[in-house]
Amino acid sequence: MKKYKVLIDPEAKRDLKEIFLYIALNDSISSANKLLVSLEKTLYKLEKFPERGHIPQELRQTGIKKYLEILRRPYRIFYEIDKSLVYIHCALDGRRNVQEILSERLLR
């Protein structure tokens, strides 16, 4: 089985930090830690199964098919596969205006 290397974009790292801080401030540090560990596990599962994601609905409508997403509800992780690398572009709360954020980050 081929193993891929997962690379996390600085913006995606910032997303994870913001998610952590939001949960820590509005719930607890313990909950924020548990969520962060869960999100990181989801990211690193892509080392073995990068094709498990699907084309995001917002991008499918534009015909762009190089980006995929996986879910860890309510969070959506957007990435692309390039040879043996998986690039994580963003980790977003699916309750936000994802279309607008993707337009700003991925479609520039």
The full set of domain ranges for the chain reads 5-105
CA–CA distance, 17 with 13 (Å, rounded to integer): 6
Query: 46: burial class by Cβ within 10 Å (0-12, 13-18, 19+)?
Result: buried
Confidence of residue 56 (pLDDT cuts 50, 70, 90): very high
Query: 61: burial class by Cβ within 10 Å (0-12, 13-18, 19+)?
Result: exposed
Segment 7-26 shows an average pLDDT of: 97
Q: Which residue has the higher pLDDT, 102 or 5?
A: 5
Where does 5-105 sit in CATH, by number?
A: 3.30.2310.20
